Structures are given as structure tokens and as C-alpha cells.
Amino acid sequence: MEKITVEAVLENLQRVIDFATEKLEERDCSMKIIMQTELVIEEIFVNISSYAYHPETGSATFCIEFEENPNAVLMTFIDSGKHYNPLEQAPPDTSLDIDEREVGGLGIFLVKKNVDEISYEYTDGKNILHMKKFF
């Protein structure tokens, strides 16, 4: 497993994405898988940087590892901010028409759509989000 820990501020998003992209490219993942993974990382990281420590800042750790047969990437985000389970957030109703659609709730929805497994735990004061994506 490899990991990177950064201060959870938007300016560091690209560092985390670059870190993950490099590992995915080493394993010859398709551009589509890389882009979907990038979207997942952005949505989670933006949530952590916007809310977890607000109005203070803190750190976020991103871990990545791979499984074979079948090929999968396992990603974990860890922060020590406010206890928050993103999986409990109600999904947006994508069948509503324009006037009823709200602008929030899309991020975690996109995360769920772009990974195959996702689970959350709160351990030792840390929010830990595990994700698995086959490729």
C-alpha cells in the first residue's frame, strides 16, 4: 500500500490526483478508469477540504493499493475532522425536473456511481472511507 498525506486544502487536490494517476498508469488502466478515479478523488477530497475541519484545516491521507484477478484498485481516504458518514447523505433525485433539482448532493452520488464497493468507518476519531473499483 502506498499513501500520501496532505493538508486538506483545495490547492492540494492535484497532488493527490497526480499521485493516484501515476499508480494507475503504471498498471495500464484505461483513460476512462483514470478519469472516473480522478472524479472520485476530487469529490471526496473537496468534501474533506470544505467541511471536515471547517473553519480550521487539517490533514487528509489517501491510500492506494491494487488487487489482481480480478484487477481492482483499493482507495482509502482518512481524515481526523468532524464525524461524518458521507454514505448517509440522501442521494439527489435525478428524476426531478429542473426547477426542483437542487445544486447539492451530487458529489457523493458521483462517487458511488464510479466505484464498485464503498464503506465507511469511524475509528479512533478518524473518518475512514474505503473504496474499491474494478478495472
Partner 1 sequence: MEIQKEQNGSALTIKVIGRLDAGSAPELSKELTTALDGVTDLTFDFAELKYIASAGLRVLLVAQKRMNKQGSMKLVNVSEAVLEVLDMTGFASLMTIA
Footprint of partner 1 (CB under 8 A): 10, 13-14, 32, 35, 38-39, 42-43, 46, 92, 94-99, 101, 103-104, 106-107, 109-110, 113
CB of 124 to partner 1, least distance (A): 29
d(CA 94, CA 97): 8
Cell readout for 116 is: 464498485
Complex with partner 1: residue 88 or 102, whichever CB lies closer: 102
Question: How far lies 1's CA from each of 20, 26, 63, 64, 70, in Å?
Answer: 12, 14, 7, 6, 17
Of the two residues 90 and 103, which places its CB atom closer to partner 1 in the complex?
103
Query: Cβ of residue 112: shortest distance to partner 1, in angstroms?
Result: 10
Closest CA to 2 of 17, 27, 25, 23: 23
- Cell numbers for 99: 426547477
CB closer to partner 1, 35 vs 87? 35
Nearest CA among 10, 106, 120, 124 for reference residue 60: 10
Least distance from partner 1 to the Cβ atom of residue 98, Å = 5
Minimum distance of partner 1 from residue 31's CB (angstroms): 8
Closer to partner 1 by Cβ: residue 25 or 65: 25
